[in-house]
Structure 1
Amino acid sequence: MTAGSRPVAVLVGPMGAGKSTVGAALARSCGVDLCDTDEEIVDRSGRSVPAIFQEDGEAGFRTLEAEVVADVVATHSGVVSLGGGAVMTPAVREALVGHTVVYLRIGAEAGFARVAHSDRPLLAAPNPAERYAEVLADREETYRAVASLVVDADRDPQVVVDDILARLASRTESEQE
């Protein structure tokens, strides 16, 4: 990572939208690296995301996440994938201003199907599918507000990547006119 560089794109969206999968494929297509901020948090803290939630609570995790996101979007020149709840923190939203932010939109049923058998802390509820839908509904407006592009993520990851690349190219062309 080099100081002053800008990410090609910052991917946001709910858990299960494909931020890591699409992010890796998009980074390969662009010939750049992917920085998954959840992985970066684990690397920097030496603890898993569930462990951080358990030991520090969601507020402690969000504080650490905001610091990592601000650093990464200021220094990483590849593709950045944010955790599903990152955009709910004002400091993260502020850090995203001026960046190309891609919201990977997915419906509650399809998104939950992708994460149903995971250990996601926010799904630790009596009815995880209902909890997923609630979390998505709470965050939808914020995802849209920070996004430069909204892309349907309920498709094959390569189709999503091709859509993002085409839309990024058309944005670049229109900016040059």
Structure 2
Amino acid sequence: MTGPAVVLVGPPGSGKTTVGALLAERLGLGLRDTDADVAAVAGKPIPEIFLEDGEPHFRVLEAEAVRRAVAEHDGVLALGGGAVLTPATRALLTGLPVVFLDVALAEAVRRVGLDVPRPLLTINPRQRWRALMDERRPWYTEVARAVVQTAERTPDEVATAVLDALEHHPA
């Protein structure tokens, strides 16, 4: 086992799960989403974890989910938007084929919508998203082997750009 074939990082609304599913299909591999792993382990949706247990508890669960996924999964791996905040997670990603899906604020808001439960975006979603990106962009960039802009691209076009980026930036 050499680890995941592709690891996708980026903010909420960047298309990690959607593009991840397309990549998995194209590569004939499985897709694993660490947010889904966290919800399964906790036995409740992520917004409930934030509300009932707090963000610090969620981050502990998330770091463990990433650790397990990197060790066990050889397909496409989509990380939660804040996974890169944890130094141990960033260290785990060193040397892996990580791609940062970069998305503009307006497009992220359109994709995420305001009716989808995103625990960190509940109050003033546009301002909060911008603040999250200001905080996280250096971490996304640090762990990424390649950055793919998603603006004005369909999920299929983004998946193609991810594969092209990894081909041009091999380990």
TM-score with structure 2 setting the length: 0.94
Aligned length: 169
What is the Cα deviation at residue 138 of structure 1? 1.2
Percent of aligned positions that are identical: 44
Name which of 17, 27, 31 aligns with 2:28.
31
Partner in structure 1 of residue 56 of structure 2 = 59
Name which of 67, 73, 77 aligns with 1:76.
73
Partner in structure 1 of residue 158 of structure 2 = 160
The superposition leaves residues 77-117 of structure 1 with CA deviations (integer Å, 9 ceiling, x where unpaired) of 00000000110111211111121110000111211221122
Distance 1:169 1:90 in 2: 27
- 1:6-155 correspondence runs (5 A): 6-117=3-114, 118-125=116-123, 127-154=124-151, 155=153
Moved over 3 A (4+): none
For 2:63, give the aligned amino acid: A
What is the Cα deviation at residue 74 of structure 1? 1.2
Contact 2:145 2:169 in 1 (8 A): no
Q: Which has the larger radius of gyration?
A: 1
What is the Cα deviation at residue 123 of structure 1? 0.8
For 1:64, give the aligned amino acid: L
**Structure 2 gap segments, 5+ residues each:** none
**Structure 1 gap segments, 5+ residues each:** none
Distance 2:165 2:137 in 1: 21
The superposition leaves residues 134-176 of structure 1 with CA deviations (integer Å, 9 ceiling, x where unpaired) of 111111111111100100122101001111112223344xx6x
SS in 2 for 1:83: coil
Distance 1:166 1:123 in 2: 32
For 1:31, give the aligned amino acid: G
Distance 1:71 1:145 in 2: 21
